[in-house]
Amino acid sequence: MIVRIMGEGQVKLDDAHFVELNKLDDELLDEMESGDEDGFRRTLSALLDAVRRLGAPLPDDSLEPSELILPAEDATLDEVREMLSDDGLIPG
């Protein structure tokens, strides 16, 4: 799957990594619902770090369609709320 981190670029992630990423996504959703700003910052950072660590960066000139778009690390709680689906940021 091709994942874009807003403001950074794209990475290719193997579907096998989505179990780990979904756990972080669930934590992020819980923290957003409870208004836990510190937890939200910490978990968003951990989620993006995991995508960077597990994914293979695509070249900057690559024009692959992104199947998943994640917010930038400095996104606000409200900005991320606007990106959410019922499943969180990551479907499944």
Sign, CA torsion 77/23/2/91: negative
Q: How confident is the model at residue 72 (pLDDT cuts 50, 70, 90)?
A: very high
3-state DSSP call for residue 80?
helix
Average of per-residue pLDDT across 57-76: 90
pLDDT per residue as tens digits for the range 33-61:
898 999 999 999 999 999 999 999 999 88
**Mean pLDDT lowest for which of 4-13, 27-36, 47-56, 80-89?**
80-89
Can you give the pTM of this predicted structure?
0.89
* Region of poorest pLDDT, from 2-6, 23-27, 53-57, 87-91: 87-91
Residue 62's Cα: distance from chain center in Å?
20
What is the structure's pLDDT at 43? 95
Distance (Å, whole) CA 77 – CA 38: 10
pLDDT at 92 over 70: no
What pLDDT is recorded for position 51?
A: 96
Pairing of strands 56-57, 9-12: antiparallel
HSE-up of residue 11 (Cα within 13 Å, Cβ side) = 19
